Structure 1
């Protein structure tokens, strides 16, 4: 009944079905790994919020010479709360353009915080709106604190695909916060990650909007896992259904046509005929 499955046509269909199912299972496994990675990031964010800050040098290796950047921290160290004391370098403020906070486009203001040993760590002080004239208009900057400042902040890894760093009206501008790219523009050896301000002493200027720390959308990846694995199962079930229907179709075509009762054997005699 199912001998037709061994024909080249049906063997080819089976091979394609199995290949598609394997690919979909692998895509589901990849989404599962993404779900696990993002879940781990969310756990680190939540855990860091509950812990006391640690000194910056407990997490980051100091850089060497001016224009260079220190080693990047291990990804597991991201979002660690650290504390550091230094002086803001107001001559090297970095404007990070086209940044969205609360559905508004503006600038994040990043300033090197120079430590007592001459090294610096980039500190994202917060978000400000652009000046009147459009989203690209350079903002009015809140004043940079003079003297010694203590910052408690979340450690953020350098952003990927940072692109070029430019100068406009005497200010450093960039689209993304790439620590190595910015370090090349600064006169200080720079640590390999930057900080998002949680607290500052003296207090941060209220003109800044704090940068929100967003949790990763891990449930989206979890949904994709279920989706791909369901598709893989549906492909196999679909092959079985089509094969079964084909088998029944072929069986019906081969059914004998002479299995009816002979009508003449049971029909009544015609009037006038002899027994």
Structure 2
């Protein structure tokens, strides 16, 4: 009854199922491992950030380039602020005990002794970076040589939250904190990193450091979790379809073994032949009946004295009269 499993069609189905199911399970497990790695990395990043807040600041040069290990570490740099190029970073959200509030960053460039400039986010203010009433609250940067301490951050990119990479901002505003966006604004080299000041000048609020890219529970992490579910669903669907096809063909083979033929299978030609034979018999029978009727009518005419018999009687009467 299960000989249908040896047909070429079922060979193809079986090979597909044997390959597809392990592949889907492997891909689902791999996506799950990626999500677990991101969760672990996020926890490690939080632990590093907590230790970095309590640890002593290290010179900036020793922490570059910024990676998942050095991101969030306390860095220090010495130099003087370029007061001619103070910039505002609009549409930035700050999460604190009051919830999420919209405002802007205050960014200044610290000209270090090495010649390069370090972008320093001195703090955050609520309001609109384009409103004079809000920007009037921005305090001027300190003059002279200063030592700045803050959490080290990697340059932003188009995928960073709050970034406005489309351009079109007014003069004095910056949409993305990166060396690439600053190179056309200032006439000197800029570090491919920035720091957010730990103890900002009032009324500025400190900007908490963000997790390093690829280490936090961001949208990509939850995409990995979603892909995990999808791959396991695909594996279950392959199993379901295999059993569905197997049950259908097994029932068909069982019915065929019992001589049960579904309606419309093989009966159409027999019915057509039977209909044709019946039509032929009907035609022959109709002809026979018609012929018998004609013969019956002729006999009746002879017995009853048809036209021929009538003419004979008239001739006899004429001879007797003569």
Q: Which residue of 1 aligns with 2:184?
A: 184
Map 1:106-125; keep pairs closer than 5 Å. 106-125=103-122
Which structure shows the bigger proportion of residues in helix conformation? 2
The 8 Å contact of residues 121 and 194 in structure 1, kept in 2 or not, is answered as: yes
The one-character-per-residue Cα deviations of 1:91-140 (angstroms, maximum 9, x if unpaired) are: 11122122222333321121111223332211112221234xxx754641
Q: Say whether residues 1:150 and 2:147 are aligned partners.
A: yes
What secondary structure, in the 3-state scheme, does the structure 2 residue paired with 1:159 have? coil
The one of 41, 55, 63 aligned to 2:59? 55
Task: Give the Cα separation in 2 of the matches to 1:42 and 1:179.
Answer: 29
Q: Which residue of 1 aligns with 2:90?
A: 97
The 8 Å contact of residues 108 and 126 in structure 1, kept in 2 or not, is answered as: yes
For structure 1, list consecutive stretches of 5 or more residues without a partner in the other structure.
Answer: 61-71, 259-275
Q: Which moved more, 1:72-81 or 1:12-21?
A: 12-21
Higher relative contact order (CA 8 A, sep 6+): 1
The 8 Å contact of residues 88 and 144 in structure 1, kept in 2 or not, is answered as: yes
CA, structure 1 residues 15+210, in 2 after alignment: closer, same or farther (shift >3 Å)? Answer: same
Superposed CA RMSD: 3.5
Q: Which residue of 1 aligns with 2:78?
A: 85
The one-character-per-residue Cα deviations of 1:43-84 (angstroms, maximum 9, x if unpaired) are: 134214314221111122xxxxxxxxxxx5345432222122
The 8 Å contact of residues 128 and 208 in structure 1, kept in 2 or not, is answered as: yes
Which structure shows the bigger proportion of residues in strand conformation? 1
TM-score, normalization by structure 1: 0.69
Task: Give the Cα separation in 2 of the matches to 1:220 and 1:22.
Answer: 21
**How many residues were matched structurally?**
238
CA, structure 1 residues 27+96, in 2 after alignment: closer, same or farther (shift >3 Å)? Answer: farther
Q: Which has the larger radius of gyration?
A: 2
Q: Which residue of 1 aligns with 2:237?
A: 235
Q: Which residue of 1 aligns with 2:201?
A: 205
CA, structure 1 residues 42+122, in 2 after alignment: closer, same or farther (shift >3 Å)? Answer: farther
The 8 Å contact of residues 28 and 228 in structure 1, kept in 2 or not, is answered as: no
Task: Give the Cα separation in 2 of the matches to 1:164 and 1:158.
Answer: 17
